[in-house]
Structure 1
Amino acid sequence: MCLFSVAAVKANERDSLRADFLQAEAVKWNINGTPYKDKYKSFDGYALQDYFQLAQLKKNILMKNEAQIADFLSLYNNTPLDWSLRKPWLSHLIRYKYKERFIKYYKPSSNKQFTCNYYQYQIETGVDKNSVLPHVTKLWLNGESLPKECDRLFSLWTKKGYRTNELIWQRVMLAQKNRKYGLVKYLFKLLPQKEQYLVELWKKIKRSPKQVAQLQKFKRNNAQETFIIIDGIKRLIWKDEVLALSVFEKASMQGRFSNNQKQNILKSLVTAVARSNDPKAQLWFSNLEREYIHSGAIQWRVASLLRNGNYDDLTTELEQLTVEQQADRQWLYWRARSFERTKQTDKAQLIYQQLAEQRSYYGFLAAAKIGDKSVLNHQAISIPGHLNDNISTMKAGQRAMELYRLNRLTEARREWNYWMTELNETEQMVAAKWAHQQGWYDRGIYSLSQIGSLNDMDVRFPMPFQNEFSKAAKRHNVNEAWAYAIARKESIFMSDATSSVGALGLMQVKPITANYINKSKLRRWQILDPDTNIELGIRYLSYLQKKFNNNIVLATVAYNAGPKKVYRWLKAEPSLPVDAWIETIPYKETRDYVKSVMAFTEIYQQKQGSGESPFIQLIEMQIE
C-alpha cells in the first residue's frame, strides 16, 4: 500500500472537495455505475477518497459486490478502514450462512460472536475437531456471558471432555471479579455434587472473610480449594492484615500455593502490612526479602512514618531500599527531607541540588527548597525540511488530519494511532510536531509520551483556547496556569474526552457538577462544547478554591476525588507539611494527580512568564 498521496491538493481545492465529499458520502450510489466511478475519480488527491469508497461499499453489502469488497479489504488490510467494512461483511456472511467465505474473510478480533462462528464453521466444513476445540477453551474461559452463537460450539467442546471442574472454578473467579453474579450462579450449577461443599464454603468466606482461617475445612488440597483460599485471603487482607498474613503463612507451609500464586497474594499483602501499625506485621515486613517490597508498599511505609513525624526511622527505612529504588526521585527527595529534619543539612542540600536539575514534581520541590528557579530543560524538536514534507504527504497522516478537521475525532485518532505504527521513532517525533502545528494538540502530546520524547515543552504543554482560558480565569479569579494544568492532566486537550464515570470534555466536568455550577440542567453536547466546558471547569475550580480557603493543593485534590473525601482525609491526619500530607493521601490516583497538576502549573507559569512559582508557597504550606 502506498504511504504517500498521489497528488496533494491546495487548501482552497481541499475546502471545495470537503464539501463535495460530505454531500456525496451521505448518498447511496450504485457502485457498479458510471456516475459513482466518476464521482470517486473526482476525489483524486483528496485525503478521504478512500472513506467515500468505504461508505459506499458498506451501503452495498451484496454478494455480487464481493470482488470489490475483497479488493478493498486486501488493500486496506490491518488499517482502520479494514474493520469498518470487514465487520458488516462478516455479519452478512453469517446471516446467509456462507460458511466457507466467512472462514476466508475472518480475522481474529474481540468479537466473540465472530470467533464462535469461525470455530463452528471450521468444524462444519470438515476441519479436524481436535485441532479446533483446544482453542475453544480460551474463548470459554471468560468473565463475561458469551453470545448464544457460541452455545453449539461449547456443547460439543463439553461433550468431548474439555470442560473440567478446575476450569469452571477459574471462570467463576473471573466472573466474580467482573461482578457478573448471574454468571457465577449459572457456573455453580455446572459443578458436581462432590464440590458443592466448596460453593457453600466460598459463600461463607465472601460474607465473612475470616472464615478462610479455617484451613481444616479445605480437605482435598486441590486447585479448586486453592482458588477459594486465595480469594478469601485477598478479601481478608483489607479487613485484618495480621490474620491474612497468618493464613497465608500456614497455607504456604501446607504447600497450597505455586510460586506465581504466592507472588499474586504478596502484591496486596505486602502493601497492607506496610501500612499496619501492628508489631507482628511490622516485624514480618522488616524481615521480608527486599525483592517483594514494591513501590506501593514503600509508599505506605513512608506515609505511615510521615504521619507520625518519625524522620529518624524514615532515614533508616529509605537506606534499606535497593540501589535501584534509592535512585527513584521520590525516595531521593524524602531522603533529603529526612536529612533536613534530622539536622543533616549538608546531605540534604546535595540531594536537593541533584533533584533540582530535573523537570518533575520532586525536582520543583527541591529547587524551591534551595532557592533555585525550577528548570524546564526545553529542547524543541528540530525537523529537517525534507522529512517534514514527507510526513505531511503520507496518506494515513492526511486521512487522520482531514478526519480531525471534520471533527470525526474517534476515527481521526484511530487513523493516527495506526499511522504511528508505520513510522520509525524520528518520524513519530516529526509527526507529533506537525500535529501540534496543525492545532491537533492531543496527538502531539500523546505521541511524544509514547516514544519517551519529553523535552519539547511547546508540543507537550500547548495553550489552546487561550482567549477562553484567560477570560474565564480572570472572571473567576483563578490562576490561569493552574486551570491549564488541570485541563492538561484531565484530557490532554481532547475536547470529546469522556471518562468511565461520565466526566466530559477538556476539563472533565461531570454532568451533576455542571448542573450544580450552572444552576440549570445542561445537555451532554452543551457540556462538551469547549467554550462552555472551560467556563464550567474554571467556575468549579473557583468554587473549590473558596471552599478550601484559597489552598490550591486541597482544591486540586477535591477536583479529582471530591470535597467530601478531602474533608475526611483532613480529619484523619494531624497537622502536616503539605508535601508530607500529599504522600499520605490514600488513593494512588489522587496522589499522582495532585503531583502532576502542581508540576504542570509550574510549567505553565514559566511558559506564561508571570507569577510566583507555586512551589515557593508549597514548601511553606502546612495542612491543618
Structure 2
Amino acid sequence: MQVSAAASVKRIPVSFLVASFWLGVMSIAGIVQAQPTPSSPESELKRAQFTELEKQLGRASRKKVAALEDDVAALKDYPLYPYLLRQQIDQRMDMAHREDIESFLLNYHNQPFTYGLRGRWLRYLATHGEKKAFLANYRDGMGATITCQYLQYQLEDAGQPEYWLEKVEPIWLAGRSQPDECDPVFKKWQQAGMMTGDMVLGRIEKAALSGNPKLIPYLKRKLPAKEQYLADLWQRIRTSSSLVLKKSQFPLKNKETEGKILAYGLEKLAWRDAGDAIKAWYLWQPADVFTQQQQLDVTRAIALSLAIDDKPEADEWLKRADVSGAADDVKRWHMSYLLRHERWQDVLDLIAAAPEYVQQDEAYRYWQARSLEAMGLPEQAGIRYRELAQERNYYGFMASARVNEKPSLKHIATPRSDENMQMIAERPAAKRAQEFLALGRLIDARREWRYLVNSLDTSQVKDAALLASEWGWFDQAIISFTQSGFLDDVEKRFPMAYAEQFDDVGRAYDIQPAFAMAIARRESSFMVDAVSPAGARGLMQLMPGTAGYVAEKRVSTDELFDAGQNVQFGVQYLRYLMDKMGDNPVLVSASYNAGWRRVMEWLPAGGNVETDIWIETIPYKETRSYVKAVMAYRYIYEHQLGQSSGLFEQLAKSAIPPATGLSSPGGRAGGTYAPK
C-alpha cells in the first residue's frame, strides 16, 4: 500500500490505475455526482434538446434522419454536437455516405464519440465486398475478425504471400476460439507449412492456461498422431493435478512440453495439498524435466502454501525458494513466517542478506527496526523508526507510534496555475465531460476525461486534477492526482466527500465517519456508480445480497448507486461486522474485504498474536494491502476531520485474540445493526 511519494511529476498510465481498482462501471440515469458549472435556462434547454434528438436519432429511419438535420445543425455550438453527428452516420452506413464517414473519422481522430465507428464501417465494407475501400480504411489493432479479413484481402493479390502469412502467428496463438473469418487465413498458413506442431502445442498450452479447454480437442486433431497424447495430458491436468503423481502417465517422449504440463500440475497441486506436491517434486527430480524458471515457480508454490498454513516444513522450503530470481512475494512470506514465530535474529539476517532495493522497502525497514526492538536494542530501533516515521504510509504511521511521535502527513498543496486550468476547461473534451456530468451520464463523462488527460502534457495533468477537484468530481480528481505524480496534496487526494452523510449515519450506528470514509476511499475512490467484477456496487462497494441482509429488505441497483443510501447500507454493514469482531478495526477491515467467516479462520488458534504481525501474515495479498491502506486512510481522515487519533498507538500496543477471545462490546449481540 502506497499513500505517499515524493512530489515528482512521473506520469502513470490510466490503464494501471483502473487495473489497481479492478472496477467496472455502469451508467445509471439520474446519478449526478458533480455539478461542475451552474445551470442556466439556456444550458438546460440545450441539454433537453440534445437528449430528445439523441432519442429520436436512435430509432429514426433514414428519411427521419434527413428530416432532423436542421434540428441537429441548430445545436452546432453545443459541446455534445459531435455525438449527434455520430448518430447520423450510424444511420447512414453505406457507400453513398463514404465521404461523410471518412471525413468524420479523420477530423475527430480517436475521440471518444468515434469509438467503434471504424470497426463498424470496416465490417460493412467487408460484408458488401468493398475491398478497395476496406484496405484504405484499415488500421492495425482492429481485432481478430477485421484483421483476418484484411489479411485475406492482402493474400488474394500477394505476389509474395510469406510477408502476410508471418502476421498470422499472433492471431493463431490465442487461448480462445477465433472467428470464422480467420479460417481461410489459417488454411493458407497451414498449406504454407507454417502451422507446425510447436505452433499447435503452443495454442493448446494457451487454451489450457486461459481456461478454454473446449478448444483443446479441436487442436488435438491438428497434431501428429504420436503427439496427440500431449493434448490429452493438458486436458487431464486441468481437472486432476494429482496426475503428476502417476509417473506412468508421462512417457517423456516430448520432455519440454511434458515438463510444462508437470510444472503446471505441480503448482496447482501445491496449493491444494503441499504434501502431495512435495512427493511429486521428488518423484520427478531425477528426470531433470524442469527449467530453472519452472523450478522457481514450483518451489515458490510449495513454500508459500506451507507458510500460509504454518506447516513445520515451511522453514526448509522457504529457504529453498528464497533464492536469486525468485518472485518478490517469496521473501515477503519468508519474513512473515519468521515473524509469526518471533524469530527476530533470523528476520534481521534475512533482511541483511537481501538486495539493497529490498532493504529500502518500507516494510523491511519497519520489521528490521521491530526486530531490533524485540531483541532489546531500543536505540538502534529508534533511529530506524524515526527515519521511517517521516513517511506517509502504514509503516511510517506504525513507526511513529513505536516512538510515541505524531505521524507525519507532510501535506503540500499542489501548485496552481489558473491559466492552465482555464485552458483545460475550455478544451472540447472538458466541456463534453461537463455536459455528461450534468446529464448524469458518468461513464461518458469519464471516457471524455480520460481522453482529455491523456492528451495533456505531463506537467498539466495536476491542473486537470485540480479542476476535477473544484468540480467536486472526487474519483477523477483522485485518479488524476495519482497520474500527475503530485501525491503530497493530502487534502485533495483524500477529499471530504459525502462527509455529512457519513457523519449522520455514523452517529446513528456508532461508526466513526473517518473509518467509513476510509473504506469508501479504498473501495471506490468515491465513484458512486462503481461496479466490481464480483458485482459489488457504489461508494462502499456493497453486494446486493449484503445490502439486503443488513437493510432487511430487497435493495435495488438504483438504491446502491444512490450515494446517501449506499452510505446508509455500508455503515450498517460496518456496524454488523463490528459486533461480529469485537469492535476491532483491523478485523473489521479484513472482514469487509475478505468476508468475516474467512477472517475467523485466520484468527490465532492459541494465544494472542500482536496486531502488526497478524496483519503481515494475512494469507491474501489483497486483504493484507487493503487492511494497511484502510488503517492509513482512517488516520488521514481523522486528521482531516480535526479529530485526535490514537489509532496507530492502539495498533502498536494491541494483539489479535483467538476466536474465543472476541466479545461484542457494550453487550450487543452479534448481528445487531439497529441504531444505538
Comparing 10-19 with 474-483, which one deviates more in the overlay? 10-19
Question: Within 5 Å, which residues of 2 pair with 1:227-242?
Answer: 227-239=260-272
Comparing 382-391 with 199-208, which one deviates more in the overlay? 199-208
**Aligned match of 1:23 in 46, 52, 61?**
52
Residues 439-475 of structure 1, C-alpha deviation per residue, up to 9 Å, x if partnerless? Answer: 1111111122123321111221112222222211111
Aligned with 1:238: secondary structure? helix
Equivalence for 1:517: 550
**Aligned match of 2:210 in 161, 170, 178?**
178
Question: Within 5 Å, which residues of 2 pair with 1:466-545?
Answer: 466-545=499-578
**Does structure 2 conserve the Cα–Cα contact (< 8 Å) formed by 1:9 and 1:45?**
no
Indicate how the Cα distance of structure 1 residues 109 and 414 shifts in structure 2: closer, same or farther if over 3 A, else same: farther
Query: Distance in 1 between the 2:283 and 2:354 partners?
Result: 28
Equivalence for 1:3: none
Question: Within 5 Å, which residues of 2 pair with 1:571-586?
Answer: 571-572=604-605, 574-586=607-619
Equivalence for 1:152: 184
**Does structure 2 conserve the Cα–Cα contact (< 8 Å) formed by 1:274 and 1:300?**
yes
Indicate how the Cα distance of structure 1 residues 583 and 495 shifts in structure 2: closer, same or farther if over 3 A, else same: same
Aligned with 1:27: secondary structure? helix
Indicate how the Cα distance of structure 1 residues 284 and 621 shifts in structure 2: closer, same or farther if over 3 A, else same: closer
1:296 is the counterpart of 2:329: yes
Equivalence for 1:5: none
Deviation at residue 120 of structure 1 after TM alignment: 2.0
Query: Distance in 2 between the 1:489 and 1:134 partners?
Result: 46
**Does structure 2 conserve the Cα–Cα contact (< 8 Å) formed by 1:93 and 1:102?**
yes
Deviation at residue 278 of structure 1 after TM alignment: 7.5
**Does structure 2 conserve the Cα–Cα contact (< 8 Å) formed by 1:212 and 1:232?**
no
**Does structure 2 conserve the Cα–Cα contact (< 8 Å) formed by 1:472 and 1:538?**
yes
Equivalence for 2:197: 165
In structure 2, what residue type is equivalent to 1:135? K
Query: Distance in 1 between the 2:634 and 2:313 partners?
Result: 43
Question: Within 5 Å, which residues of 2 pair with 1:73-88?
Answer: 73-88=105-120
Residues 503-562 of structure 1, C-alpha deviation per residue, up to 9 Å, x if partnerless? Answer: 111111011112211222222222222222111111111110111111111111001000
In structure 2, what residue type is equivalent to 1:307? R
Query: Distance in 2 between the 1:195 and 1:377 partners?
Result: 63
In structure 2, what residue type is equivalent to 1:49? Y
Aligned residues: 617
Comparing 230-239 with 416-425, which one deviates more in the overlay? 230-239
1:42 is the counterpart of 2:71: no
Query: Distance in 2 between the 1:52 and 1:277 partners?
Result: 62
1:463 is the counterpart of 2:496: yes
Query: Distance in 1 between the 2:539 and 2:383 partners?
Result: 40
Query: Distance in 2 between the 1:295 and 1:540 partners?
Result: 35
Higher relative contact order (CA 8 A, sep 6+): 2
**Aligned match of 1:123 in 148, 151, 155?**
155
1:589 is the counterpart of 2:626: no
Query: Distance in 1 between the 2:129 and 2:444 partners?
Result: 31
Indicate how the Cα distance of structure 1 residues 75 and 268 shifts in structure 2: closer, same or farther if over 3 A, else same: farther
Deviation at residue 59 of structure 1 after TM alignment: 2.2
**Aligned match of 1:90 in 83, 103, 122?**
122
**Does structure 2 conserve the Cα–Cα contact (< 8 Å) formed by 1:31 and 1:56?**
no
Comparing 607-616 with 549-558, which one deviates more in the overlay? 607-616
**Does structure 2 conserve the Cα–Cα contact (< 8 Å) formed by 1:491 and 1:506?**
yes
Deviation at residue 128 of structure 1 after TM alignment: 4.3
Residues 244-266 of structure 1, C-alpha deviation per residue, up to 9 Å, x if partnerless? Answer: 57877997886655566566656
Deviation at residue 72 of structure 1 after TM alignment: 0.6
Query: Distance in 2 between the 1:90 and 1:320 partners?
Result: 58
In structure 2, what residue type is equivalent to 1:119? L
**Aligned match of 2:136 in 104, 118, 139?**
104
Query: Distance in 1 between the 2:125 and 2:592 partners?
Result: 50
Indicate how the Cα distance of structure 1 residues 337 and 174 shifts in structure 2: closer, same or farther if over 3 A, else same: same
In structure 2, what residue type is equivalent to 1:26? K
Deviation at residue 347 of structure 1 after TM alignment: 1.0
**Does structure 1 conserve the Cα–Cα contact (< 8 Å) formed by 2:509 and 2:572?**
yes
Equivalence for 2:15: none
Query: Distance in 1 between the 2:593 and 2:521 partners?
Result: 13
**Aligned match of 1:557 in 584, 590, 594?**
590
Indicate how the Cα distance of structure 1 residues 209 and 33 shifts in structure 2: closer, same or farther if over 3 A, else same: closer
Query: Distance in 2 between the 1:601 and 1:256 partners?
Result: 51
Query: Distance in 1 between the 2:506 and 2:77 partners?
Result: 44
Query: Distance in 1 between the 2:261 and 2:124 partners?
Result: 44
Deviation at residue 210 of structure 1 after TM alignment: 6.1
Comparing 36-45 with 94-103, which one deviates more in the overlay? 36-45
**Does structure 2 conserve the Cα–Cα contact (< 8 Å) formed by 1:496 and 1:504?**
yes
Query: Distance in 2 between the 1:545 and 1:519 partners?
Result: 18
In structure 2, what residue type is equivalent to 1:83? Y
In structure 1, what residue type is equivalent to 2:656? I
Aligned with 1:332: secondary structure? helix
Comparing 236-245 with 76-85, which one deviates more in the overlay? 236-245
**Does structure 1 conserve the Cα–Cα contact (< 8 Å) formed by 2:79 and 2:435?**
yes
Aligned with 1:108: secondary structure? coil
**Does structure 1 conserve the Cα–Cα contact (< 8 Å) formed by 2:524 and 2:540?**
yes
Comparing 229-238 with 463-472, which one deviates more in the overlay? 229-238
C-alpha RMSD over aligned residues: 3.0
**Aligned match of 1:305 in 334, 338, 341?**
338
Equivalence for 2:396: 363
Equivalence for 1:4: none
**Does structure 1 conserve the Cα–Cα contact (< 8 Å) formed by 2:322 and 2:330?**
no
Indicate how the Cα distance of structure 1 residues 66 and 305 shifts in structure 2: closer, same or farther if over 3 A, else same: same
Query: Distance in 2 between the 1:130 and 1:272 partners?
Result: 48
1:406 is the counterpart of 2:406: no
Deviation at residue 40 of structure 1 after TM alignment: 4.2
Deviation at residue 599 of structure 1 after TM alignment: 0.5
**Does structure 2 conserve the Cα–Cα contact (< 8 Å) formed by 1:120 and 1:153?**
yes
In structure 1, what residue type is equivalent to 2:95? M
1:188 is the counterpart of 2:220: yes
Query: Distance in 2 between the 1:20 and 1:489 partners?
Result: 39
Equivalence for 2:650: 617
Residues 351-384 of structure 1, C-alpha deviation per residue, up to 9 Å, x if partnerless? Answer: 1111111110011111112111112111111212
Equivalence for 2:666: none
Indicate how the Cα distance of structure 1 residues 27 and 203 shifts in structure 2: closer, same or farther if over 3 A, else same: closer
Q: TM-score, normalised by structure 1?
A: 0.91
Deviation at residue 140 of structure 1 after TM alignment: 1.6
**Does structure 2 conserve the Cα–Cα contact (< 8 Å) formed by 1:169 and 1:227?**
no
Aligned with 1:135: secondary structure? coil
Query: Distance in 1 between the 2:253 and 2:507 partners?
Result: 70
Deviation at residue 153 of structure 1 after TM alignment: 2.3
**Does structure 1 conserve the Cα–Cα contact (< 8 Å) formed by 2:465 and 2:481?**
yes
Q: TM-score, normalised by structure 2?
A: 0.84
Query: Distance in 2 between the 1:218 and 1:110 partners?
Result: 43
Indicate how the Cα distance of structure 1 residues 250 and 133 shifts in structure 2: closer, same or farther if over 3 A, else same: farther
Indicate how the Cα distance of structure 1 residues 385 and 159 shifts in structure 2: closer, same or farther if over 3 A, else same: same
**Does structure 2 conserve the Cα–Cα contact (< 8 Å) formed by 1:496 and 1:528?**
yes
Comparing 451-460 with 478-487, which one deviates more in the overlay? 451-460
**Does structure 2 conserve the Cα–Cα contact (< 8 Å) formed by 1:305 and 1:314?**
yes
In structure 1, what residue type is equivalent to 2:376? K
Residues 74-120 of structure 1, C-alpha deviation per residue, up to 9 Å, x if partnerless? Answer: 11222222323223322322332322222222223363222222222
**Aligned match of 2:104 in 72, 85, 101?**
72
